[in-house]
Chain A
Amino acid sequence: GIQVEQSPPDLILQEGANSTLRCNFSDSVNNLQWFHQNPWGQLINLFYIPSGTKQNGRLSATTVATERYSLLYISSSQTTDSGVYFCAVSTSGTYKYIFGTGTRLKVLA
């Protein structure tokens, strides 16, 4: 089955810094989503982005489906950005989702 790898596994930033999180997948996908799990365990959807680029405030995401990767950019990070970031993919012909193991981000004040 498809493999989903996220990097880096852990990231520590000072408040105000920028960061790039990466999601690599081993097969073509028809769906890719990014989620943030906050320190209280709540999972929040960030982007539905099977291809192309989207922006939402300080966050943006780009998926290059032909090269099998997606990037999540966080600019001017804030302490509230701390938590774990997951990407999840689904392949053509299935409604099954595979999650990456996540990037744990800690933003220091």
Chain B
Amino acid sequence: EAQVTQNPRYLITVTGKKLTVTCSQNMNHEYMSWYRQDPGLGLRQIYYSMNVEVTDKGDVPEGYKVSRKEKRNFPLILESPSPNQTSLYFCASSPIKGLSTDTQYFGPGTRLTVL
């Protein structure tokens, strides 16, 4: 089954404790992206990647790191989480289509609480 998976689905942690949220897709998509969703603010893009070893900042990259060492995986790293990073996080993937992407497919989301 074609899908985007995220782990963990739920996480409660404390300020400053490094964490990684994993994202994996089995559709051989070049493009992968991370978003956070907060009430009243919709979805905001954190980072995206056009292919292996190619990443770029979205609108809200501060406090996050990413890496793309394999095509299928795009982990999101919070080196020192803070309470303002409490949010619902989504990973997405898409084929590249010309100078843009095709339809994005989203993972199920990761709800993160930082105390």
Contact = CB atoms under 8 A, between A and B. Distances in A.
Interface stretch (B11-19, B42-50, B68-76, B78-86): B42-50
Given A93-B99, A95-B56, A45 B104 contact: yes
Contact of B104 (A33, A98, A100, A101): A33
Interface string B100-115: 1111111011000000
A102 B42 contact: yes
Contact of A45 (B41, B58, B105): B105
Contacts, number: 63
Contacts of B1: none
Question: Is the interface on chain B under 10, 10 to 19, 20 to 34, or 35 or more residues?
Answer: 20 to 34
Contacts of B104: 33, 35, 45, 88, 97
Contacts of A93: 99
A95 B42 contact: no
B102 A101 contact: no
B44 A41 contact: no
Contacts of A48: 102-103
